[in-house]
Structure 1
């Protein structure tokens, strides 16, 4: 590929894009990008232009021959692409705010990727992703789709089950955040820490932790039992674990597990936040306004440090590392969402899982972990059932299937409450759910 690579980013007007650009600039010697296409929709045009101009200034400052193109024409951008990354939000942050606020009225967790909010985000997102895949089949059949649009696990599941496209890798910043958090707890450099990850997106466990090749899992669990250990994310309250529970679990939970193991406290915390500071989406809206004001500055030529407050730290760096490893056939180990193929014994082979993989130019090769520990297995299987039923609902637009998905989610207490929440949320998101309202599915 001496001509250089063509990379397309759908959702190019995202506030995360400068981090992506920084990652590509940093790796230019081993990842020679010729063209970078930033794609968005009409509603995101202004943000695309602001971010695109910053991207061009960053590339110019680095003195690299990368052409940055901005377009609202997805098909034009996709032609002959080598890699396509997706980082969009159907309905923008206003939709996320509804996902977070409406369930709270029913005393149910309102969260972007878990519970009712995760279901509705999947219902809005999956038809759009499948439309992108359809375009890719025609315009860039050899490209890899690197998806970090949430809910990343459900989206990967939907593509694997409801299309003919297999060249998809789902990506999340949670595993890298966990590794960084563990390094901080142990007061060592992150490169010295290795974690055996297995589970699902936002439902992943660190089964073993190694420092310089030595098992330090119990030591890490001890440190995580201390109050305010800091092992969380910007968008998830740092509510401490019961030490006896963590020690009995014998594995490292991810920050999102708090919604399942500490539901009452997380719900109370969310309700208080919503009443005082606003939901996370509303907080992020303010943060984004500040970021885009910074991005407009014609003298800004770097990713501003304020971006780290946004909550998606390491996302773009993880994406750039993944693409660089695939392009160069590095065969290093990275945790990603991919087809299970027997890696986790208690999950169907054809399902998407989040697990350590050897990264090759032919894609990720999952590292087999065998069965999950009995204490974690049931919850992971229940969430996988939810993801599968939710993906089917997104594709078919069938109300009963959507209700089934809502009801089997462990954060929803009954079929009655599930129906009440679903009815209100479908109506609230009607504009972005044509498959449920008798219209053609979005492409």
Structure 2
């Protein structure tokens, strides 16, 4: 079994490698290829990857290459984890929206649109090359904005599923609070990528007992603290929103904070510099603790489970992680009537049964209008954002910004359009 990781020079990659090594019974890789244009960085990450495999006794062969076509040739699955423009582009996404009084964040609001415009054309080019060199391969997209990128891939006819670590992170957190194994916790996790709510937390499976009211009653303040939302807000909602909802529920407070603190991009850039220095150490043969602060918690477990299910691999029960092929996992895929208030071709983030034929969403519970309205609004924005990413044009960019619920004002949309284009000219071929 061959798997290629595009963006393999990322500082995230050792987290992924650690998961592949620990969960080799779930996903029995024989060949793993790390693909990245940054050859020097790739060599450092690749060296650590091989040492991790050796330490844990994984028999698979790890290679590195800057040649995309060679790297994906004959792959069974290709995982995308790239960042067009690097941390420098992220730093811009987090800064210029603040000048207009809007949240500066790399996946939400105006910064999220900028990232989509840079990313979609690059990902589609990669996917076309995968189709030529590995026509039966599954594409697993971890590249943000996951919902928009996954929709672009699906509309182009690729075998693709989107992946985010928010759901598995919450599953692990709730399991710890309940003192039960993670595989015994099922989330009624519904919405869009980075715009989701846990409508229920069930024990044992999709039809199990809902213990969310108990969780909120016994651990509400702790959960609220993690989300950086007031505990009374969670109590009033009766659900657990993803932490990205803070950008909507406390927008002005967040803008004030972002204007007075170092950007996340600067923190991550400094952390990446430290991580790469660590990775250079030939004695290091495990992922360092610092990597946990980089983000992407439990990313490897989610990626292994998804790839194993798509490729029809064995169950991971022996490794204690679990999902077998055909199991229920939270993924990004076509709506297909799951949420009746959205178009069928919207990409949603929901529990789905995943197997070699792809992802099929489970029947969804009724979604309260408080959440359905915002989901529908952002879905409209995402459709416009994808049009702008595919076809370019200032007017398309402006309409997408005007449609976003964090913007929605004519003068702000005009100003943000000018700033977005000025900061991304080198990445947008149509300019």
TM-score by length of 1: 0.90
Q: Distance in 2 between matches of 1:314 and 1:178?
A: 10
Would the alpha carbon gap of residues 241 and 223 (structure 1) be closer, same or farther in structure 2, given more than 3 Å must change? farther
8 Å CA contact retained: 1:343, 1:370: no
1:128 alignment partner in structure 2: 122
Q: SS of the counterpart of 1:172?
A: coil
1:8-407 equivalences in 2 (<5 Å): 8-41=4-37, 44-161=38-155, 163-165=156-158, 167-212=159-204, 213-223=208-218, 225-226=220-221, 229-232=224-227, 238=228, 240-241=229-230, 243=232, 245-273=233-261, 278-327=262-311, 328=313, 330-407=325-402
**Alignment correspondent of 2:413:** 418
Structure 2 regions of 5+ residues with no counterpart?
A: 314-323
Instruction: Work out the CA distance in 1 between the residues paired with 2:297 and 2:222.
Output: 23
**Distance in 2 between the 1:224 and 1:430 partners?**
47
Q: Work out whether residues 8 and 85 of structure 1, in 8 Å CA contact, stay in contact via their aligned partners in 2.
A: yes
SS in 1 for 2:241: coil
Superposition CA RMSD, Å = 1.7
Contact 1:224–1:231 (CA under 8 A) maintained in structure 2: no
8 Å contact kept, 1:208–1:251: yes
TM-score, reference length from structure 2:
0.93
Maintained 8 Å contact 1:86/1:149: yes
Secondary structure (helix, strand or coil) at the match of 1:303 reads coil
Give distance in 2, aligned partners of 1:397 and 1:18. 36
The answer to whether the 8 A contact 1:196-1:207 is kept is: yes
> C-alpha displacement at 1:221, in angstroms?
2.9
Shift of 1:326: 2.4
Deviation at residue 262 of structure 1 after TM alignment: 1.2
Aligned residues: 417
Distance 1:92 1:333 in 2: 33
Q: C-alpha separation between the residues in 1 aligned to 2:16 and 2:221?
A: 34
**Residue of structure 1 equivalent to 2:3:** 7
